[in-house]
Structure 1
Amino acid sequence: MSIAGKKLNQPASNSSSDKQEAAAAELLEHLIEVVDEHDKPVGYMPLEDVRRQALYHRQVIVLVYNEKNKIFLQKKEALKKRGKSLWDVSTSAPICAEQSAEETALAALSQELGITLQGLRPIGQALAGPSTGNAFISVFSTGMVPLEHIHSHPVVKNGFFFDHEEISSLVEHYREMLSPSLLLLWDMGVVFPASSF
């Protein structure tokens, strides 16, 4: 296997080749793995091109819960309907080239919410289609995270913790305030899994 024409098992011969390999590795970090309709890898492309062309790809969603088993939702400025921001999942990210679903999920959790964990619990998967933006989605749960770990990050100012009854009411009466991803997971029954954490 090679990156930018250089074999991975070939030792670097000079600083120039080190820089080339580092640049190639950095490039891969910004490329998304494109898949076919059967979730088989076919290549790598920048995320904006994947979305513009509505190509099949992979994505992760991580659901964060506090010690009271309330789920943390973000209000995303980038997700708007009739000028109003929508409530969205705790965090999500497309799976980058040569990265596993859990690696992507852990990185997104750390970068966006400042939460560092050793592992996550897989709780569901969604097939690609119009409702997912042609993404095959892997859903993970953090389990119950101590409040101090969540409240230490600035992004929490744009979020709130909801219990099952509150989200159920939002889905029933204010569905237009919720993102497509959140509604999809709610309909799948994975927002509050039946089994305990």
Structure 2
Amino acid sequence: MGKRGRKKKDSPEGMLLEMLEITDQDGNVVGLLPRGQIHEQKLFHKAVHVFLFNPEGKIYLQKRSRLKDENPGKWDSSASGHVSPGEPYPVAARRELKEELGLLCGLSEVGRLPASPETGYEFVVLFKGTTRKSPKPNPLEIEEGRFVDPAELEEWLAKKPQDFTPTFRLLWEKFGKQPVPRKH
């Protein structure tokens, strides 16, 4: 077990047994269940996504590992993951960025999405940050990753929306056009 009672995400079995908070339709915590059961029963729960940009304004996209139980092999936000029991959203965002890309940088909250079938029944909080450092993708989480110019991303999304997770498509449509935080 890792910090805060999290099962380490070092195997598909560990991922399914990870304990997460379930919420009501308003996002209030009502209990704890294993991740696999939450996904199977389509219960509301909490997640974070991070849009990481380089100083040139390109966004880092990750292609999810084919071992993932949700959206394997799809392109997604720079980093994303579930919020651990009792963990504040900003802490979860920093943890996921470190776990998935080996990076830490300043993050700011951009917006929120309500839980829905498109988000996998997750209440999603999106954060943005900028870094000059090169991401080091965790091979257990990420098949590949790269920085993409937003105009190129718009074209890719228009031509092949099926390449991306439903949550990423929603987040980019709603929040992707906002100004990129600049690192001085």
Q: Under a length normalisation based on structure 1, what TM-score does the superposition of the two structures give?
A: 0.76
CA spacing shift, 1:145–1:192, aligned 2, 3 Å: farther
Partner of 2:128: 141
Instruction: Provide the aligned length of Structure 1 versus Structure 2.
Output: 166
Do structure 1's residue 150 and structure 2's residue 134 form an aligned pair? Answer: yes
- CA shift at 1:174, angstroms? 1.3
Aligned CA RMSD, in angstroms, stands at: 2.3
CA spacing shift, 1:152–1:159, aligned 2, 3 Å: closer
- 1:37 aligned counterpart, secondary structure: coil
- Structure 1 regions of 5+ residues with no counterpart? 1-22
Kept after mapping to 2: 8 A contact 1:59/1:92: yes
| Counterpart selection for 1:174 from 160, 169, 180 | 160
| Counterpart selection for 1:43 from 11, 31, 51 | 31
- CA shift at 1:41, angstroms? 1.0
Q: Whose helix fraction is larger, Structure 1's or Structure 2's? A: 1
Do structure 1's residue 34 and structure 2's residue 18 form an aligned pair? Answer: no
Kept after mapping to 2: 8 A contact 1:114/1:150: no
Partner of 2:12: none
Q: Under a length normalisation based on structure 2, what TM-score does the superposition of the two structures give?
A: 0.81
- 2:20 aligned counterpart, secondary structure: strand
- CA shift at 1:176, angstroms? 1.6
Partner of 1:186: 172
Partner of 1:99: 87
- 2:115 aligned counterpart, secondary structure: coil
C-alpha separation between the residues in 2 aligned to 1:56 and 1:154? 27
Q: Based on CA coordinates, which of the two structures has the bigger radius of gyration?
A: 1
Structure 1 runs of 4+ aligned residues shifted over 3 Å read: 23-26, 151-157, 194-197
**Superposition map of 1:1-197 within 5 A:** 26-27=4-5, 30-76=18-64, 77=66, 78=68, 79-80=71-72, 85-117=73-105, 119-142=106-129, 144-146=130-132, 149-153=133-137, 158-188=144-174, 190-194=175-179, 196-197=181-182
Partner of 1:11: none
1:34-79 deviations in whole A, cap 9, x for unaligned?
A: 1100111101111111111111111000111111110000112233
